[in-house]
C-alpha cells in the first residue's frame, strides 16, 4: 500500500462537514466530507502505511477499500502526494 503526505501547497481548513482543501498551485478546491478521512489525511505523513492511518482514525475495516479509493482521488487531485 502506498503512503501519502499532504501536498506542501495545500491548505486544509476544518469545516462542519469535514474539511476544505485548497491547492494554491492548481487552485482546485476539494471537499473532504468525513471527519475520519480528514484525520487520515492529517496523520498520513506520519504513517509509513496508509492502513495504519486508517486504523488510527477508527475507520471500519470494511470501508478501507472506499477510503483507499478516496485517498487515491485526493492524490490525483494533487491534495496528497504518494510516497511508495
State how far the Cα of 26 lies from the Cα of 82, in Å rounded to an integer.
17
14 binds another protein (CB under 8 A): no
Under 8 Å between Cβ of 20 and 31: yes
State how far the Cα of 79 lies from the Cα of 22, in Å rounded to an integer.
8
Under 8 Å between Cβ of 55 and 67: no
The site map against another protein for 51-80 (x = CB under 8 A) is ---------xxxxxxxxxxx--xx--x---
The site map against another protein for 17-56 (x = CB under 8 A) is xx-x-x-x--xxxxxxxx--x-------------------
> Among residues 39, 32, 66, which one has the least CA distance to residue 53?
39
- How many residues line the site for another protein (CB under 8 A)? 32
Chain contacts with another protein (rule: CB under 8 A): 11, 13, 15-18, 20, 22, 24, 27-34, 37, 60-70, 73-74, 77
Amino acid at each position: 500500500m502506498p503512503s501519502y503526505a499532504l501536498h506542501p501547497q495545500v491548505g486544509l481548513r476544518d469545516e462542519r462537514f469535514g474539511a476544505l482543501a485548497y491547492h494554491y498551485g492548481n487552485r482546485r478546491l476539494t471537499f473532504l466530507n468525513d471527519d475520519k478521512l480528514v484525520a487520515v489525511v492529517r496523520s498520513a505523513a506520519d504513517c509509513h502505511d496508509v492502513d495504519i492511518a486508517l486504523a488510527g482514525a477508527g475507520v471500519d475495516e470494511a470501508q478501507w477499500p472506499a477510503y483507499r479509493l478516496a485517498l487515491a482521488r485526493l492524490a490525483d487531485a494533487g491534495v496528497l502526494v504518494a510516497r511508495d
